[in-house]
Every structure is written in structure tokens, then in C-alpha cells.
Amino acid sequence: MITLYQLPRSWGIPNPGQFCVKLETYLRMTGLDYKTVETLPLFAPRGKLPYIDDNGTQIADSRLIINHLKSRHGDILDRHLSAEQHAIAKAWQRLLEEHLYWVTMYTRWSHTETNWQANKQAIFSGLPAILADLVASIYRYRIKAQIRGQGLPRLTPDEIFNLGIEDIEAISLFLGDKPYFMGNEPTTLDASAYGMLINTIGCPIESPVKDYALGKKNIVDYCTRMQSKFFPELISS
């Protein structure tokens, strides 16, 4: 059985970790048998969540994990896609995971103290209070350094959020009235898209990007559809 190690659930969504949502959604979409263990990144290989243990093989990084699962269990979701569709899906995955992701990380870890406190509570509340403050401060310092290395904090907040809004506009236009990003059936891209989008609109982290995304009915409906189909136990949360 696959053991999925991830952050504790919070906020009535599958996980406050975008890549944790991505991976658990992928597991549910493929029907692979798994169990979850809640943990923190300091206990994880490479210091990253999520990671899995697949019958004794530990793998971190959602991209490598999914590649491993496809190699071992078959490409259940994407085998019907053409080469061109695979390329399109990969490009959208990169926008979601390597740009919109960093906008949301800036919003949580750097933008306002209110956002930071909500983020801190979701991730570190399971630790004893004194330890939680210390560990949270260490991780905040590290992640803010990562965000700065990515480059966004060198811009003004308005510039950062305008770039995030451009992402949301493009995502909304591409999704259109399709049920899923690549058509009538969910693909691996949807695991990534749902992980990033639900962590933009479905959590108590405020920003102009969230407000703009909430104004896009197709994005809101998409997240509702994904949660209803793959995480129905959370609908009443």
C-alpha cells in the first residue's frame, strides 16, 4: 500500500499544502490504494511535503512521485491524450506550479500578518505552543528566502498581484465551459490545477488574486466539482 505523508487537513479543503492536494487528488483520481499520515516538512525526505512510501520506496516531490506511480501502475489518466495535448497540459502545469504557486506563497508567508497567522495556525497548531512558534519562525524565514530567490518580492505587492490576476484570467479562459482542463475527463493536469486553485479561493488567505478568482464562475464551479467528485466527505465541512 502507498503511504502518503502530508500536512494536516485544514480550512475545509483537502490540504493547506498545494502539492499535498495535488498528489492526494491524483491518487483518488487513479483509484490507487493509499493511506495518509499527517506530518511536517522537518520530518520529510528533502525537507519537502508531500512524500510517499510505496512498499518501502520513499519518494519526495510530487512530480517525481507521479512519474514513479505512472511507471509502476500505468498512466491511467493521460493515456488518451495526444502528444500535442500532453505538451499543452505540461505548459499549463508549469504556469500553475511555477508561477501562480509562488504568488500564493508570497500571499501566505510574506504579505500581511493576518495571512501569516492563518497560515501558521493551519500548519503548526499541532505542535506545543512554544515549539510551534519556534518552528514556524524558522520555516517562515526559510520560505521567505525561497520566495525572494524566485524573484517575486523584488516587485511591489500590486505588481505581484497583477501578475497573479493575469494567471487567473488565462486559466479561466482556457478552462472555458469544459468540465475539466483537457476536456470531458479529468487528467493529471486537473490534480495540479485543483491543488493550486482551491488553495487560492478556498482558504482564509486574502488577496486581490483570490478576489479576482472568486469572480470567475467557471473556476469556482470547477473547484466545487472537483471537491464533490474526489473529496465528497469535505463538502459539508
Angle of helix 188-201 relative to helix 217-230, nearest 10 degrees, comes to 110
Residue 78, in any domain of the structure: no
Q: Residue 237 has what pLDDT?
A: 45
Residue 48, in any domain of the structure: yes
Sign of the CA dihedral 25, 48, 212, 116? positive
Q: Residue 46 has what pLDDT?
A: 85
Q: Is residue 115 located within the same domain as residue 182?
A: yes
Q: Residue 168 has what pLDDT?
A: 98
Q: Is residue 45 located within the same domain as residue 99?
A: no
Q: Residue 147 has what pLDDT?
A: 93
Q: Is residue 216 located within the same domain as residue 118?
A: yes
Q: Is residue 101 located within the same domain as residue 151?
A: yes
Q: Is residue 90 located within the same domain as residue 68?
A: no
Check if the beta carbon of residue 196 is closer than 8 Å to that of residue 219. no
CATH number of the domain within which 192 lies: 1.20.1050.10
Return per-residue pLDDT of the chain as tens, 237 residues. 999 999 999 999 999 999 999 999 999 999 999 999 999 887 788 888 999 999 999 999 999 999 999 999 999 999 999 999 999 999 999 999 999 999 999 999 988 999 999 999 999 988 888 898 999 998 899 899 999 999 998 999 999 999 999 999 999 999 999 999 999 999 999 999 999 999 999 999 999 999 999 999 999 999 999 999 999 999 864
Strands 2-6 and 34-38: parallel
Q: Is residue 162 located within the same domain as residue 220?
A: yes
Q: Residue 236 has what pLDDT?
A: 62
Residue 106, in any domain of the structure: yes
Q: Is residue 221 located within the same domain as residue 183?
A: yes
Q: Is residue 152 located within the same domain as residue 187?
A: yes
Residue 195, in any domain of the structure: yes
Residue type, 139: Y
* Rounded-to-integer distance, Cα 90 and Cα 36, Å: 27
Count of domains forming the chain:
2
Check if the beta carbon of residue 23 is closer than 8 Å to that of residue 66. yes
Q: Is residue 68 located within the same domain as residue 117?
A: no
Check if the beta carbon of residue 12 is closer than 8 Å to that of residue 234. yes
Residue 117, in any domain of the structure: yes
Q: Is residue 57 located within the same domain as residue 116?
A: no
Boundary residue ending a domain (41, 73, 105):
73
CATH number of the domain within which 66 lies: 3.40.30.10
Residue 220, in any domain of the structure: yes
Q: Is residue 218 located within the same domain as residue 103?
A: yes
Domain containing residue 17: 2-73
Q: Residue 235 has what pLDDT?
A: 82
Residue type, 6: Q
User: Global pTM?
Assistant: 0.95
CB-based burial label for 166 (10 Å; 0-12, 13-18, 19+): middle
Q: Is residue 134 located within the same domain as residue 161?
A: yes
